[in-house]
Each structure stands twice: as C-alpha cells, then as structure tokens.
Structure 1
C-alpha cells in the first residue's frame, strides 16, 4: 500500500529530473531514458538554447547517477521495511514513522539538485523567464479551473472511487467491512485542493520576484531561486501543513485497520505488490 512515485510539476522546467515512474511496466525504460524524455516535458514550459539544453542534460545525468546509486537502494529498503511491518506485529507509530521517512526522499532530491538548477535558471534571458513564468501560470490556472468545475461532494465521491480502485489493486476484491473502512476514512478526509493551489501560486509568486528583480546580483539570484526550489514547506500555509498531517494520520490509521481485515489471499496479494515494487527497483538499479 505504498503510494506510487509520480511525476512532480514544479515551478521550474529544470525539475524534469523528477520524472521517475517506479510502478509501471515501462519503469526501467522511463528511468534510463530520463534525459531524452525530459526534453518533451521541458518544451511545454520553455525553449532552451543549445548551451542550456546541454547544461540541463548534464544536471539530469549527474543527478540520475547519484539517485540510482543512493536513493533507489533507500527506496528499496523502505519498501522492505514496510513489508516487514505488514507481515509482523504492526503498530500505528512504527508504520507512521516508516511512511514519513519514505516521504523524505523527494526532499533529498531537491537538496541534491537545487543549486545546479538555480545556476541554470540564472542563464535564462528575460524572454525565457517571462515564457517560463507565463506557462506555469497557465498550468495553475487550468488546474484551478478544473478544480472549480466540481463541487466538494463531487470531488469526495470521485476520490472514493479512486480509493476503492487503489486498494483493490493492492489487496484484490474488497469485502463490505473493508469498503466501509475506506468510505469512513474518505468522509473524514479533508479536501486540500484549494490549499495546494494556493501553495503553488505562492511559490510561483516567489519565483516571479526572483526572476523579475533586476537589482540583485547573480549570486543573490542563485541563492534566492535555490530557496524557492528547495524549501517547499516555506510556501505552504499553516492550514495546508495541518491538513496534510491530519490526512496522513487518517491514511496510517486506515492501513492499520485494513491490515487486520485481510484474508490469506488478500495478504498474499499485498506481498506480491511489494515484491513487484522491489523487483522493479532491482531492475532499475542494475540497469
């Protein structure tokens, strides 16, 4: 029951290095061709010149080598640890500790890459900066429009269906008790969509201030942009942070309660899913 690693949309085109998909049949292909595939994603935001493209690919290749040798083995260990908890006496505190630890890997990536990405950002012309900021704003506006097209009730109903599909993928056919647990948790889940949009806009506004400030030196520009890239929580409201924590507790409690309802066939299905993730990681690490 581990969340899939999905592509992250962030405030800089250079974040294409985060496009890592670990839970699909094409995971190895995607990971091993990251430098080539990222160009399609970057083109949605900005047109880089040849020198900048070369610099970006160097960042991606260097980061990927570090990620493959240090982070993927850590992901694998996390999955093995969670699997061990799942198959032994499971406590809420232990489970939350492991899940929180696993979630920190994304921050590790930003810690490693934030400075070279900011240095690349410093090479952008005024036209490129405007293009990048405008395209990101369009993306946020599109997300906001899509969000507002649904009522809170419609979003909660859609999320419930997604939750059923997610847990069925892991444990197979759900019984009435399991569906009731998932439904109850979904009812308590706090919709943070508006808060996430607010966060994205706040972070983009911070990037705009850096990109449009003609008074700062190159060194100051790099330092300030690297902060925008790395310090994600700095731009999150207290309401979003509290909502994230509350929803995480709900998720942990649901995993704990579902664990006690599994029959032998469902428990084997979960173990098979863990093994598939581990096998995928082994394949990527070794190739």
Structure 2
C-alpha cells in the first residue's frame, strides 16, 4: 500500500492519461487510493496532506531533473546508433538499473515521515489498514490461482507486446513471434512475488502494532530486503534477459518504429523538464 502511495509522486505511464496531468494531481490520486485502505481523521488527513506536499515538491525539484537527464542520455545514445558508438546492450542495462536506483531513493526519502504517520494511527485504524492490505493481496493471489498455466503464459506475452508497442509503435508479425519465443526464457516469479508480499505484510503488521517506528521505516525504505534469495536471483536473471531481448528487438526496428521510439523518449524528456521548470 505504501509503495502505491509513493508511486503517485513518481512516474505515471497510464494508457490514455497525460503524464503531466497525472503528476500535477498526484495528491488527489494519493488521497483517493489511501481512502481504500484506512479512514483517517481530519487531523491525520491534514498531517498527511502537508507531508505529501513536501514529498511532491522534493521529488519535482530534486528527482525530475535526473529523469530528464536519463531520458536525454538514452535518446542521444539511440540517435548515435546501436553499437559501440551509441546505445549498447550494457548501456541499456545501466539505464534500467538507474531507474530502480531512482525508485529506491524515493522510498528512502519518504520512509521516515511515512512511518511516523503510520504509527500515529489508532489500533483500530492499524487493524483496518492491515486487513485491507491483506484483502488486496488475497485478491491478487486468488486471481493468479484461477488462471491456468497457459493463461498465465499468454497474459505475460500480451503484456510484453503491449509494453513494447507503447515504445516502438505497432509491431509486425515477426516481432510478435520473437516476443512469444523469448517469453519461454523467463523464470516465472509471480508466485514468489505474492509470497514476498505476504512476508512483508507479516513483518509490517508486527512492527506497526508494536509502534516500532524504526522497523516500520525500514520496511518502507527497503522492502526488497525481505525478498527470498531465489526471488532476487530470478529478478536479476529476468532483468538481464529483458534487456537482452529488448536490444534484440531494437536491432530490427523499422525506420517508422525508430522514429516512434525517439518521439517517446523526447516526450518523456521534455515533459520532465517542463514539470520541473514550470512549477
């Protein structure tokens, strides 16, 4: 749940929605989402609103320029071509890792205040929060369990195709076939992620009910510490495969698809710049 809240301060990439529109209304979306998990008193809501505004301002002033620079670098490298003189597979992996670093920095920044807000909840509110997070996790688990292995695999392929088309534009039959063939190389981790979420919630419940603010802060700032060794290894393996497969697709982009990708990169770069400068 807390991960979802801070996501509202980060990057919005929702189909049919303007990045600028969503980012400038992050506070509204955060309040709307929070209402699904816990009922705050007026005083608690005021504290959250004030704190969220500070987080949002910090993110706009300190983090958006980093996003802008990252997209500018990707664009520059891609314009120089694929290969040693431009964008390499290793460089693409560095960009993916950079955005994870941005995400971890955001978690670390908001964790102390968010933890302090969390432990000020009443016992009833804490139980409500934990119960709703558990219910949300159980719904995810049930939805996953109800799918056959074939459905899970096809959904994974469909999601990959959709994501690639966002960046490259319409894919041809050969590219879709390549994505389908590549999909069998990934290690399935959905079940491991659901277990990780369950483990995190158990630790969070114990810390929250004990009003252990340091532990709550740590769980928000470094939730990934609770990943099993197997999950972490699979995450890194799949990331490497994703970069390798993405780069292979990029080598076969048509001129139209290359223009589409450059346009997307330019849009993100200019949007982050505008969001930072025009505030």
TM norm structure 1:
0.88
> Which of the residues 272, 282, 286 maps onto 2:263?
272
> Which of the residues 159, 173, 180 maps onto 1:183?
180
SS of the residue 2:199 aligns to: helix
In 1, Cα distance between equivalents of 2:255 and 2:264: 14
- Deviations for 1:113-133, whole angstroms, at most 9, x for unmatched residues? 100111111211110111110
Matches within 5 A, 1:1-287: 9-10=1-2, 16-19=5-8, 20-24=10-14, 25-88=17-80, 89=83, 90-213=87-210, 221-285=212-276, 286-287=278-279
In 1, Cα distance between equivalents of 2:46 and 2:36: 18
* Cα offset, 1:65, TM superposition: 0.5
Closer, same or farther in 2 for the Cα pair 1:172/1:16, shift >3 Å? Answer: closer
- Deviations for 1:42-65, whole angstroms, at most 9, x for unmatched residues? 110001112211111111100101
SS of the residue 1:257 aligns to: helix
* Cα offset, 1:144, TM superposition: 0.2
* Cα offset, 1:40, TM superposition: 1.3
* Cα offset, 1:212, TM superposition: 2.6
Q: Which runs of 5+ in 1 are unaligned?
A: 1-8
SS of the residue 2:12 aligns to: coil
Number of equivalences: 270
Note if contact 2:115-2:213 (Cα within 8 Å) is conserved in structure 1: yes
In 1, Cα distance between equivalents of 2:46 and 2:216: 20
- Deviations for 1:142-166, whole angstroms, at most 9, x for unmatched residues? 0000010112221111121222222
* Cα offset, 1:184, TM superposition: 1.9
Instruction: Judge which range, 174-183 or 222-231, deviates more.
Output: 174-183
Note if contact 2:168-2:260 (Cα within 8 Å) is conserved in structure 1: yes
Output the aligned Cα RMSD: 1.7
SS of the residue 2:253 aligns to: coil
Closer, same or farther in 2 for the Cα pair 1:283/1:231, shift >3 Å? Answer: same
In 2, Cα distance between equivalents of 1:97 and 1:37: 31
Partner of 1:5: none
In 2, Cα distance between equivalents of 1:271 and 1:18: 25
Note if contact 1:46-1:131 (Cα within 8 Å) is conserved in structure 2: yes
In 1, Cα distance between equivalents of 2:91 and 2:63: 21
SS of the residue 2:218 aligns to: helix
* Cα offset, 1:191, TM superposition: 1.7
Q: Which runs of 5+ in 2 are unaligned?
A: none
Note if contact 1:47-1:128 (Cα within 8 Å) is conserved in structure 2: yes
